[in-house]
Amino acid sequence: MAVFIVTYDLNKEVKRPNILKLIQDWNWAKLSESSYAVEATSSTAVYDRLKPVIDDNDNLFVIPLRAPYRGWGPKDVHDWLAKKLA
């Protein structure tokens, strides 16, 4: 398994499936308001799962995350990242 950053902006959101529920199907850690680290088999698998719930005016990126990284945030997120990126 690999770790990916999933970052998104839902612009002019209308009622549609909740992207957070899909993200939380993976092993995940919240990095910021609309950025998550997820553990998955590939960026394609993540993107393909999330793409159907966004529309043409939204943004979605799935980016590989590897050590070393730098960041500031909650200890539990740092612990999760340290474990998954070891």
Which of 63, 70, 8, 55 has its CA nearest to residue 38? 63
Domain 2-84: which topology?
Alpha-Beta Plaits (3.30.70)
- Name the pTM for this structure: 0.91
Would you state the pLDDT for residue 55?
A: 87
pLDDT tens for the chain, 86 residues long, are: 999 999 999 887 665 568 999 999 999 999 999 999 999 999 999 999 999 999 888 999 999 999 999 999 999 999 999 999 99
Instruction: Return the domain boundaries, the chain.
Output: 2-84
DSSP string, 31-47: EETTEEEEEES-HHHHH
Quick one: which H or E segment has residue 77?
helix 75-84
- Joined tokens for residue 17: 């499936």
Which of 14, 32, 15 has its CA nearest to residue 23? 32
